[in-house]
Structure formats: C-alpha cells, structure tokens
Amino acid sequence: MRITEEKKNDYLKAIEVIGKILVLTPIAVALPLVLYAVINGNNVSAGGAGAGFAAGLMIFAGVITLLYAAIKRYKEEKEA
C-alpha cells in the first residue's frame, strides 16, 4: 500500500490543530472577562491566582507544538 504525500503529512496537520487550540482556548475564555472589566470598570478574575499561570502554560505549550510542526514540515520539505 502506497502512502501518498498528503497522508504522510496528516499528522502534522493534526499537531497544528492541537497547537492552535492550546493557544486560542485561554484567550477565548479570558476575552469576555477582560471586555466586561473594561466596559464596567470592575475587577474580574477567572478562578483565582492559578488560572493565569495555567493559561500561560497552555499558551506556551501551544506555541511549542506549533514550532515543532513548522520545523518538522520544513525538514520534510527540504528532504524532498
């Protein structure tokens, strides 16, 4: 069975989607709270002190995942 070039890079597409989800989810969760705080002038927090740290780790993991996929795709294109 032959593996086509499109199927060969399917895993990189999946990794990119996971990376984008990891980056955008904390932003999508925090954006309404920040907008509410700006509009009303109130301080709003989402879950205490650990929530910001966890969101930062999620975004960092997403960036690392996207960098991995980009480097891997570059190396595969360079070899071909």
Question: What is the tens place of the pLDDT at every residue in 36-70?
Answer: 888 888 877 666 678 888 889 999 999 999 999 99
37 contacts: CB under 8 Å, gap ≥ 6: 43, 44
pTM of the model: 0.77
Output the pLDDT for position 68: 96
Angle at Cα 19 formed by Cα 18 and Cα 23, nearest 5°?
Answer: 115
Between CA 9 and CA 76 the distance in angstroms is: 9
Q: Are 54 and 11 in contact (CB under 8 A)?
A: no
Residue 3: what pLDDT?
A: 59
Which amino acid type is present at position 27? I
- Pair of tokens at residue 60: 């960092």
pLDDT for res 47: 66
